[in-house]
Structure 1
């Protein structure tokens, strides 16, 4: 796992190459295996491959989602707020599980934050996604994970450049 974490970086440029069905099935399984608080499983996923829908999703917020138009697939990570009060946390866990699984399969990915983000007209990005994908109001929309074969990949961050000051032992001071 540490090797996957060491080499995983956000990828925003993808090759025009379809993801094999077997890899897509592994990504789906990983999403469904992501842990949730009290095993309530409020997380659900909308998988988008259609290029015209990916293009629409790339414009749901002012910036930071453009890469979705070039991705090969996107996982829209949503949580049923009627089922759990930990949807934000559960969706976040599922999002990173999807990204780490993608990395393990030789794919690149990037997380587009949707919750609490806005488009150029000050409309909530969640509402924009909700309209495009017909998502009920009782679901929060945490993120969209764009996935594909990397056109280029940033180099891993060297261990010596990690911010060791972010680690505290026994107490904050």
Structure 2
């Protein structure tokens, strides 16, 4: 699959079929994660592959918006080590995107479940809740979980509506990039 076609067609999937994902596909997705770049190649991440139905159900209650985990046959929790890098969160975000992109060509769907800086249904810290469910040491962080499965919903590919050329400037903020036509002043956001 051509890279730009992948970017256009990959969409966040929140409902999944009740179908187990073969181990060789899970390992292929993890290999994509291992290829992710990181600052100074410090690789400040760990991965928890979750396919236990009871744990997935518990994780689906970690916070509002985690409900896709209730139908997902698989999830990968990204665990970061802040002691390995001052940009551990950025590195973990990049590796999560690699996981997202790796799911689509093998016929799977995925959705990012934000955990860090969120509250659980009972008002507790969502990250602490997930840390308890997955037995993650306190010195490590759990910024997000990726829910993965065979899609039980279809979404149209992205079209021109995602092209926000008005947000692209040329040489300085406020000067439109122009895209081949004459540059013109763009409205600056207030603030």
TM-score (norm 2): 0.86
The alignment partner of 2:28 has SS state of: helix
Q: Distance in 1 between matches of 2:22 and 2:157?
A: 26
Aligned with residue 8 of structure 1, among 4, 7, 10: 10
Spell out, residue by residue over 1:6-43, the C-alpha distance to the aligned partner (whole angstroms, 9 max, x if none).
Answer: 00111001111111222111011111221111100111
The alignment partner of 1:76 has SS state of: strand
Tell me if structure 2 keeps the 8 A contact 1:14–1:70: yes
- Structure 1 regions of 5+ residues with no counterpart? none
Spell out, residue by residue over 1:66-97, the C-alpha distance to the aligned partner (whole angstroms, 9 max, x if none).
Answer: 00011111000011112111111011001111
For 1:1-150, what aligned pairs fall within 5 Å after superposition?
1-61=3-63, 63-150=64-151
Measure how far apart 1:153 and its partner are: 1.9
The alignment partner of 2:156 has SS state of: coil
Q: Distance in 2 between matches of 1:69 and 1:34?
A: 28
Tell me if structure 1 keeps the 8 A contact 2:77–2:144: yes
Q: Distance in 2 between matches of 1:150 and 1:46?
A: 21
Spell out, residue by residue over 1:51-78, the C-alpha distance to the aligned partner (whole angstroms, 9 max, x if none).
Answer: 10000000111x1110001111100001
**Which stretch has the larger CA shift, 123-132 or 80-89?**
80-89
**Which stretch has the larger CA shift, 162-171 or 40-49?**
162-171
- Aligned-residue Cα RMSD (Å) equals 1.1
Spell out, residue by residue over 1:135-172, the C-alpha distance to the aligned partner (whole angstroms, 9 max, x if none).
Answer: 01111111100000001121112124532222222221
Q: Distance in 2 between matches of 1:70 and 1:172?
A: 44
Measure how far apart 1:121 and its partner are: 2.7
CA spacing shift, 1:86–1:161, aligned 2, 3 Å: closer
TM-score (norm 1): 0.95
Q: Distance in 1 between matches of 2:28 and 2:40?
A: 24
